Structure formats: C-alpha cells, structure tokens
C-alpha cells in the first residue's frame, strides 16, 4: 500500500536524509521524498500498521533532521 | 517570503551591520601594542554577532551529535567557525570577522536557496493550476456548490462562464467555447455544443453548460494529470541518484581529509624537518577551510531543481513527462518511430472516390457502410459519414472480421465482402487495382467483384515541419510504421520527409518492428515511439520511451506512455526533445561547474592559497549560480 504525506523540510540534502531514515524504518517497503513538491510517498510492507509505522518514521526523521515536519 | 525567511533576513542584516561596525572599531581602538581596548573585550563583543547569526546552526549541530548524525552541514559550519575563532585566539590577531562572515554567507546562501526553490515551486504549481475547487449542482432552481469528490457518475452539474469544468462529462444543454490552454497548451478556444464530450480542467468561457458526468472526480482527466505532475519528480533520474550517492561519500571524505590535513603535514614537519610547533595553527586553519568547502549543497539542490523546472516547463506546453528518468531518456533520443494514423495524419478518413461497376455508387456505399457498422475502425466511420443516412443494424447479419484484411457480412441477404487486396486474393476474386493513392476498399457482392472505394487520410498541417524540427534538434533517424498499403505509406513518407517506412503491418507486427529497430540502434542513442494511444499501448511500453499524443481522455494511453502530449500537434515532439536536451545540458553544466570549483578550492585550500573567505564564496557562490542556472530549465523557447 502506498500513501502520500505532506512534509515540510528546508534543504534538499535533508530531504535525502529523511528518505534514507524512512527507508530504514521497520514496516516501510519503499519511500521517496520529493523536496520540490514537499511530499513523501511511503510504501508500507505487507501487514504493517501504517499509523504506528508513521509515528516511528517521524521519530527517525526528527533524529536526522530536527527541523522537519510530516503531516500525518 | 515566509515568516521564517524574514526572520533569517533580519538576523543576517543585524549581524552584518554589527560585524562591519566592530571591524572598524577594532581598526581604530584595538590594534597594536598600546591599543585602547584590549582582549578579551574584543572576543566577547565579537561573539554577539556570531551568536545572532549562528545560534540555530550551533544548536542543530549539537543535536546532530546527540543523534549521531555527525556529518551534516550544520556540524561542518559549527566546527569550521569555532575552529577559526580558536585559531584567532591563539594567534592573537583579533580576527574573528572571518568566523562571522562564514556563518553570514552560509545563512545568505540558505536563505537564497529557500526563496528561489519556493518561488519556482509556486511558479510551477501556478502553471498547473487546474484543480477545480467545487462543482455546481442544481437543486430546486438554486445552485449548490459541492466538493467534486462527492459527485456521482451520471449527476448533472452546471458549469458557469469563468468556471473550471470539474469533472469529465457530456454536455446535455447549452453551448460555449472552452479555454483548454492549461490542458493542451492550445490558446485558441474550442467551441462545444450539446452532445459533445467535455474534459475537466478546461475553463468555460461564454455560455452556461449543463453537463452529465461520465466519470468520478478521481478518474477524471484533471485528477489524472495532477497526480501525474505531482508524482513526476519521484521517479529519479540517474543523475539525481548519482548526486545522492556522491553527497553521501563526499562529505565524510572531505571531513577525514580535513582531519588528516590538520594532523599529518605539521607532524611530519615537526618530527623530520625540525619545524616549530607554531605551524600547527596554519594547518588547522587550512583544514577548517576544507570543512567550509565540503558542503555538497550546490549539487544536491540544483540537480533536482533542474529536473523539476524542466518537467514544469514542459507541462506549460501541454507536454506531461512522467518522471525525471524519462526526461533523461528523452534527451538521448536519436531515433523516433511514428505510428502514421492519428499521429502524422489526422486519422480522419474521407471517402475520396467510388469506382463501381455492378451497382450504383450510392448502393455500393450503402452496402459498405452497413457491412462495417459494427467496426470501430476509423475507416468504417468515414464510410458511414459518406453514406450519410441512418444505419439500420437489423439488415446486417453474420458479421465476420478478418484482422488486417477486411470484413464479411450479409446485408439484405447479399453476402458483402469488403477489404484490401489480401482479402480479394485469399477469396480468389479478380479485382482491379486503383490508380489513386489511398486506402482501397475492394468490394464483392455474392462473390462478384463490384468495384472499390478510395479512402484517404490527410496529413496534419504540422507533420512536415515536425519532422524537419526533429532533424534540427538532433534526431538522426525517423521511421514511420503503418498498417496501410505500401503505396499510400510511401507517398505520405515522401511528402513528410520520413527516412524509413514499414507498411502493411498488423498491430502485433508493430511491436516486433520496434524490437528490431531497438536491436539495430542499440549503440545509437534511445528510441522513442510516438502513437495516438489507440491500439498501440504494447508498443508504447516496449520502446525506450513511449510518447502518446492527443491522449486527453484516453486512460490506457496515459497509463502506458512515459510522455503524454495533451493535444495532437506533432510539433510538440520536437519541443519535448528540445526541452529535455536543454534540461540535461543544464544538469551537466551544474555538475561540472560545481565539482570543478569545489575541487579547485580544495586543492588551493590544502596548499594554503585559499582562505576561508574564498571557501565560503566558493560554496555559496556556486550554489547561487547553480540554482539560477537550474531555473533556466523552466523557460521554453517557442
């Protein structure tokens, strides 16, 4: 399953880092962060609880880039 | 500017003014042995502008360390500037300006980037401002505005002059002219009347229209296009992937080099060349210069921005490119393969001659139109148009379609055979070949040859120009594929200036033909296939890049193609290739430019020729120039 989230991030490199961090989160099959449209497209692994996963994603993203925001 | 950006701007101005003022004050009051004001006063007072401009970066760097994200640009800037201050303290030259300046320029660069990116983002979304906000539904004579998402199929909606058509549908009442410029790039309004299909995203100009919706909002053209545009840059190109990987290696590599530079050369010099320990600060300073240059921002921001702008610029022209990777492939196209019908020709067939020998002209047309009544092929439509009267399907029985040959059917008890000479050969019917160029439909009634109907397709006005424009933009070979007879195909190809023709192909042959061309031109750039999206979805997917034209409303084509031309003007193919080449040129310019300057500065820095001022100018300057260059991709030359 794929979902798109609106995000807020200030620099392109930070967007790359968010993408990396999200990919490493458990329950995420694939992720692309689009800095230009400020969107994050997350593909969840089968059977993953998206709400819980996204909470963890946000936490992991905050770790690599303190200034980012994901609108869940 | 946003609130955040304004705040940064104010901080930049205050810090800059303070820095200059302090520098002047130091020049008069702080220099020399008998200065009026002595250390540590200068150190303390200089920390004020440093704090103002750099506090958030220091904070982020600290948090980064806590989260074990060491090598980010905040950390680099923090280490470089604090290092510079420490060196200045050791050397007792009171030159703290450098550290402040580095922070200052870094922030200016970030601010510029954020403003420029925000601006081009808004520009592009304005170009694609086709999202309808509401749909009008009539309720007891009053109009009610509802969310287009809630409108069910078959609902009657009212579109007033000046409003966007929210959902695809059929006009049941009223006529008007539509502005489709946002969809097709075509600026001439299109006149529509009751009974016409109407696509969402166009703007109603003159009359009130009542429209019965034929799709849900989510399935409507406007939603499809928006989805396509918004997701376009999530398919990354090779250049973008390269940069992402590069950035991952580059920053740590430069950091370790900086560390090595700070320790190894002075150690060697002290141990083996009996240099004094005073050379340490010199090398540390050089290492700090390294850190300032190490931020890969210019590349990381400008490459995706170029692609984004390129895709946006193309969108403005009615060319939808589904991803940066396709933009990249498109720029390498050397061979363009066209489908003839509907792409180079109008695909509107007209009966241009009836040559009969058994029955009257009208009778022959009547048989032909009836026999073909079940076919959706453009040829049968033109027969029906030429016949001009109502078709009574009850008169037709036993319809048998022979793919690529023709149709057999019984009309009013007469066995009608209608098709090309292949069919006549197979049925062993002697037929007369026509001297006219066009599609020849031979007809036999009850097994006796009854004459033929000439149908020809007209080339589009721009086809010839499109081929020559393609040649001009660097395409080496053009090939036309068609199911038509050789004579017709060659005449059209000759007129338009196409290099190669493959005629008399069945739909399945087109795929094999494209595969053969792919094999032949392997070493010769990429191959693009252009079709009208009807019947050629497999070919569109098979080619390196599939371009569907005039695809408005055809979901299959939008799905299968990599590039969608919203109107059916073949000139747009050349425009699309030109846009992609320009965009990729900008990308390569930026990569080369940024890398040359960065590595140049790294070498100069290591040798001691570059100070921190040069380093920060190299960093921020390269970024600003690269961003300005990237934005160029948005502009499309007419």
pLDDT of B23 reads 85
Q: Which residue does chain B place closest to A68, by CA atoms?
A: B60
Helices B280-293 & B238-272, crossing angle to 10 degrees?
180
Parallel/antiparallel/unpaired status of strands B333-339 and B526-531: parallel
Backbone angles phi, psi at B388, to 5 degrees: 80, -5
Number of H helices, E strands in chain A: 2, 4
In this structure, are residues B349 and B378 in contact, taking their beta carbons and an 8 Å threshold? yes
List all residues 6 or more positions away from B190 whose beta carbon is below 8 Å from its beta carbon. B177, B178, B180, B202
- B176-179, strands of its sheet edge to edge: B190-192, B176-179, B203-204
Among the partner-chain residues B230, B244, B296, the one whose CB lies closest to the CB of A37 is: B230
Question: Are the CB atoms for B562 and B546 separated by under 8 Å?
Answer: yes
Residue B399 belongs to some domain of the structure = yes
B44-62 as b/e, with b when 16 or more CB fall inside 10 Å? ebbeebbebbbeebbebbe
C-alpha distances (whole Å) from B79 to each of B61, B255, B296, B298, B469 are: 9, 11, 16, 20, 54
Mean pLDDT by 10 residues, chain B (638 residues): 85 90 82 68 86 88 78 81 86 80 88 83 69 83 84 88 88 86 72 86 86 86 74 74 82 85 86 77 86 77 84 83 89 89 76 75 82 76 80 82 83 86 82 74 84 80 88 90 81 87 83 88 86 78 86 68 84 91 93 89 85 84 89 78
Q: Report the pLDDT value the prediction gives residue B184, as an integer from 0 to 100.
A: 67
Count of other CB atoms within 10 angstroms of residue B470: 26
Write out the residue range of the structural domain in which residue A66 sits. Answer: 2-71
Question: Residue B617 falls within a domain, yes or no?
Answer: no
B472 class by beta-carbon count within 10 Å (0-12 exposed, 13-18 middle, 19+ buried): exposed
Number of domains in chain A: 1
Interface mutation vs chain A, best among B60, B117, B229, most A CBs within 10 Å: B117
* Chain B residues touching A41 at Cβ < 8 A: 231, 234
Is the ipTM higher than 0.85? The answer is no
Give the tens place of pLDDT for each residue, B96-139.
888 898 899 889 988 888 888 788 777 776 666 677 888 888 87
pLDDT of residue B234: 64
B250 φ, ψ to 5°? -60, -50
- Name the β-bridge partners of B396: B411
Rounded to the nearest angstrom, the gap between the alpha carbon of residue B485 and the centroid of all alpha carbons in its chain is: 36
Q: What is the pLDDT of residue B128?
A: 62
- Residue B309 to residue B636: CA distance in whole angstroms: 10
Which residues, in sequence order, are bridge partners of residue B192?
B176
Q: Do residue B297 and residue A13 have CB atoms under 8 angstroms apart?
A: yes
Q: For residue B323, what is the nearest residue in chain A, using CA coordinates?
A: A34
Query: Of A12, A32, A67, which has the smallest distance from its Cβ to B300's Cβ?
Result: A12
Amino acid B186: pLDDT: 67
Task: Look at residues B175, B183, B180, B181 and name the one whose alpha carbon lies nearest to residue B159.
Answer: B175
Please report the pLDDT score of residue B394 as a whole number.
82
Closest residue of chain B to A36, computed from CA coordinates: B121
Which residues from chain A sit within 8 angstroms of residue B230, using beta carbons? 37, 39
Q: Of the listed B95, B147, B339, B532, which one is catalytic?
A: B339
Q: Can you read off the two tokens belonging to residue B431?
A: 């037929």
Q: Is residue B68 part of a domain?
A: no
B139 within some domain = no
Chain B positions contacting chain A at CB under 8 Å are 60, 63-64, 67, 69, 72-73, 110, 113-114, 117, 121, 230-231, 233-234, 236, 244, 247, 296-297, 300-301, 304-305, 308
In a domain, B539, yes or no: no
Backbone angle region of B393, left / alpha / beta, with phi > 0 → left and psi within -120 to 50 → alpha: alpha
Per-residue pLDDT of chain A (72 residues; tens, 9 = 90+): 778 788 888 776 778 788 888 998 988 998 888 777 778 888 888 888 888 899 999 988 888 877 788 887
Read off the tokens for B142: 């009053």
Q: Please state, in angstroms and rounded to a whole number, the distance separating the CA atoms of residues B227 and B591.
A: 30
Which chain B residue shows the shortest CA-CA distance from A66?
A: B60
* C-beta atoms surrounding B494 within 10 Å: 10
d(CA A17, CA B584): 25
Contacting residues for B59 by C-beta, under 8 A, at least 6 apart: none
Q: What is the pLDDT of residue B232?
A: 67
H helices then E strands: how many in chain B?
20, 22
Dihedral sign computed on CA atoms, order B494, B526, B299, B591: negative
**pLDDT at site B528:** 92
**CA–CA separation, B151 vs B120, rounded Å?**
33
pLDDT score, position B127 = 63
B619 included as an active-site residue: no
Residue from B293, B294, B300 nearest B239 by CA: B300
Q: Check which CATH number belongs to the domain holding B339 and give it.
A: 3.40.1110.10
| B233·A63 Cβ contact <8 A | no
**In this predicted structure, what is the pLDDT of residue B568?**
78
Question: What is the separation, in whole angstroms, between the first and last Cα of chain B?
Answer: 31
Chain A residues with CB inside 8 Å of B244's CB? 16
SS3 B396: strand
Contact call for residues B19 and B104 (beta carbons, < 8 A): yes
Query: In chain A, what residues touch B300 (CB-CB under 8 Å)?
Result: 11-13, 16
Which CATH number fits the domain that encloses residue A30? Answer: 3.30.70.100
- Structural domain tally of chain B? 1
Instruction: Classify residue B23 as left (phi > 0), alpha (psi -120 to 50) or beta.
Output: alpha
Domain hosting residue B471, numbered range: 335-500
């Amino acid at each position: 399953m794929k979902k798109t989230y609106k995000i807020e991030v200030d620099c392109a490199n930070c967007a790359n880092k968010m993408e990396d961090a999200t990919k490493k989160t458990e329950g995420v099959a694939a992720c692309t962060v689009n800095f230009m449209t400020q969107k994050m497209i997350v593909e969840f692994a089968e059977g993953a609880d998206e709400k819980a996963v996204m909470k963890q994603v946000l936490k992991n993203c905050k770790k690599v880039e303190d200034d980012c925001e994901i609108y869940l | 500017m946003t609130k955040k950006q304004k705040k940064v701007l104010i901080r930049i101005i205050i810090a800059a003014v303070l820095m200059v003022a302090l520098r002047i004050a130091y020049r008069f009051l702080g220099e020399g042995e008998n200065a009026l004001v002595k250390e540590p006063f200068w150190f303390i007072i200089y920390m004020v502008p440093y704090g103002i401009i750099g506090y958030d970066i220091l904070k982020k760097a600290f948090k980064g360390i806590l989260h074990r994200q060491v090598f980010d640009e905040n950390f680099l800037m923090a280490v470089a500037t604090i290092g510079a201050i420490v060196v200045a303290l050791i050397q007792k030259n009171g030159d703290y300006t450098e550290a402040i300046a580095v922070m200052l320029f870094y922030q200016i660069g970030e601010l510029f980037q954020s403003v420029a990116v925000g601006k081009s983002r808004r520009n592009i979304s304005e170009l694609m401002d086709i999202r309808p906000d509401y749909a009008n539904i009539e309720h007891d004579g009053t109009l009610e505005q509802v969310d287009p998402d809630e409108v069910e199929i078959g609902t009657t909606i009212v579109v007033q002059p000046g409003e966007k058509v929210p959902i695809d549908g059929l006009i049941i009442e009223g006529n008007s002219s539509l502005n489709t410029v946002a969809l097709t790039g075509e600026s001439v309004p299109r006149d529509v009347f009751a009974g016409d299909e109407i696509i969402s995203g166009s703007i109603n100009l003159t009359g009130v229209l009542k429209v019965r919706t034929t799709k849900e909002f989510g399935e409507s053209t406007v939603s499809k296009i928006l989805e396509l545009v918004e997701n376009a840059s999530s398919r990354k190109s090779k250049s973008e992937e390269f940069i992402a990987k590069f950035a991952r290696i580059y920053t740590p590599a430069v950091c370790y080099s900086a560390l090595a530079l700070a320790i190894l050369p002075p150690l060697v010099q002290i141990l083996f060349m009996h240099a004094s320990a005073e050379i340490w600060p010199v090398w540390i300073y050089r290492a700090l210069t390294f850190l300032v240059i190490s931020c890969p921002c210019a590349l990381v921001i400008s490459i995706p921005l170029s692609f984004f702008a390129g895709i946006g610029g193309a969108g403005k022209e009615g060319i939808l490119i589904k991803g940066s990777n396709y933009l990249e492939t498109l720029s390498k196209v050397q061979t363009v393969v066209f489908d003839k019908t509907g792409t180079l020709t109008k695909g509107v067939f007209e009966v241009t001659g009836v040559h009969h020998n058994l029955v009257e002209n009208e009778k022959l047309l009547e048989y032909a139109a009836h026999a073909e009544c079940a076919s959706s092929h453009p040829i049968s439509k033109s027969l029906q148009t030429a016949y001009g009267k109502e078709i009574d399907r009850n008169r037709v029985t036993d319809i048998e379609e022979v793919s690529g040959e023709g149709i057999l059917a019984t009309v009013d008890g007469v066995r009608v055979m209608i098709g090309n000479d292949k069919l006549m050969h197979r049925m062993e019917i002697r037929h007369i070949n026509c001297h006219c160029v066009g599609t020849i439909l031979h007809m036999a009634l009850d097994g006796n040859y009854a004459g033929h109907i000439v149908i020809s397709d007209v080339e589009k006005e721009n086809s010839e120009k499109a081929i020559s424009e393609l040649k001009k933009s660097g395409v080496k070979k053009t090939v036309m594929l068609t199911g038509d007879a050789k004579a017709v195909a060659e005449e059209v190809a000759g007129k338009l200036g196409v290099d190669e023709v493959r005629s008399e192909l069945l739909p399945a042959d087109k795929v094999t033909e494209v595969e053969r061309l792919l094999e032949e031109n392997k070493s010769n750039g990429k191959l693009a296939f252009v079709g009208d999206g009807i019947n050629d979805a497999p070919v569109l997917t098979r080619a390196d890049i599939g371009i569907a034209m005039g695809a408005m409303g055809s979901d299959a084509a939008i799905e299968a193609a990599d590039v969608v031309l919203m109107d059916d003007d073949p000139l747009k193919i050349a425009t699309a290739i030109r846009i992609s080449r320009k965009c990729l040129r900008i990308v390569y310019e930026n990569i080369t430019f940024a890398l040359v300057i960065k590595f140049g500065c790294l070498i100069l820095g290591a040798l001691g020729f570059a100070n921190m001022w040069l380093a920060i100018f190299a960093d921020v300057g390269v970024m600003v120039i690269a961003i300005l260059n990237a934005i160029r991709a948005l502009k499309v030359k007419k």
